Amino acid sequence: MRPSHQNALDRWLTAERGDRPEEAEVALLELFEGLPLIAPPAGFAGRVLVKAGIQAARSDLFASRGVRLVLALCLTATSLGLLWLPPTLRMLAGLWSLSDLVQGGVQAVIGASRWLASVLRLGELVLTIGRALTEPLTLPQVTAALVVCLLASSLALRFLRDQISNERNWTYVDPS
């Protein structure tokens, strides 16, 4: 460490030993501010990309003549489309009337209510199946059998854990 930072280091260590957290914080901040910034040299990322075989991205996307041509064609097509938009909208507005709008709304409500009815039918089926599966579990004989199975699996897990724990050692290769 350079001698110029030694004073800040000594003040920080003295403040830490003396249990003065505010002074220690200030001295530590001064010590960190004195450290040089670590930054890669200029052009580092470009050299890494070249070394990896990846071409560095162009700095200006619109420098290519092809990109400029495509952009000009897109703007031309958009402007021509804007010229045809008002007559097209007038023609489409003439196709729809108030009765067509009301009929479309009614059809949408009918479709939504049919979808809701089918979802409710499916929910009722799932609820019926759930009741059919849970009713036998409430019988005392079935509950007792489930408790016995739970105890047997817990006991087996305990014996398996003990067996695996006893076989652990620091030797990974058989010495013979």
On average, the pLDDT of the chain sits at 85
Residue 95 in this model has a pLDDT that exceeds 50: yes
Q: Is residue 83 part of a domain?
A: no
How far from each other are the two terminal CA atoms of the chain, in whole angstroms?
54
Q: Is residue 123 part of a domain?
A: yes
Cα-based distances in Å from 164 to 94, 128, 151, 159: 81, 44, 20, 9
Q: Which alpha helices (DSSP H) does the chain contain, by range?
A: 3-17, 21-34, 44-52, 65-95, 98-134, 140-167
Q: Is residue 131 part of a domain?
A: yes
Q: Is residue 10 part of a domain?
A: yes
Specify the number of domains making up the chain: 2
Q: Is residue 176 part of a domain?
A: no
- What per-residue confidence (pLDDT) applies to 175? 57
* 110 or 174: which leads in pLDDT: 110
**Coil/strand/helix, residue 144:** helix
Tokens 């910034």 belong to residue: 37
Range of the domain at 28: 1-36
Q: The tokens of 136 are what?
A: 């036998």
Residue 58 in this model has a pLDDT that exceeds 60: no
Rounded Cα–Cα distance for residues 132 and 144 (Å): 19
Per residue in 1-19, pLDDT (tens digit) is 444 678 888 888 898 898 8
Residue 21 in this model has a pLDDT that exceeds 60: yes
Looking at the whole model, is its pTM more than 0.75? Answer: no
Q: Is residue 62 part of a domain?
A: no
Q: Is residue 77 part of a domain?
A: no
Cβ–Cβ under 8 Å, residues 9 and 28: no
Q: Is residue 24 part of a domain?
A: yes
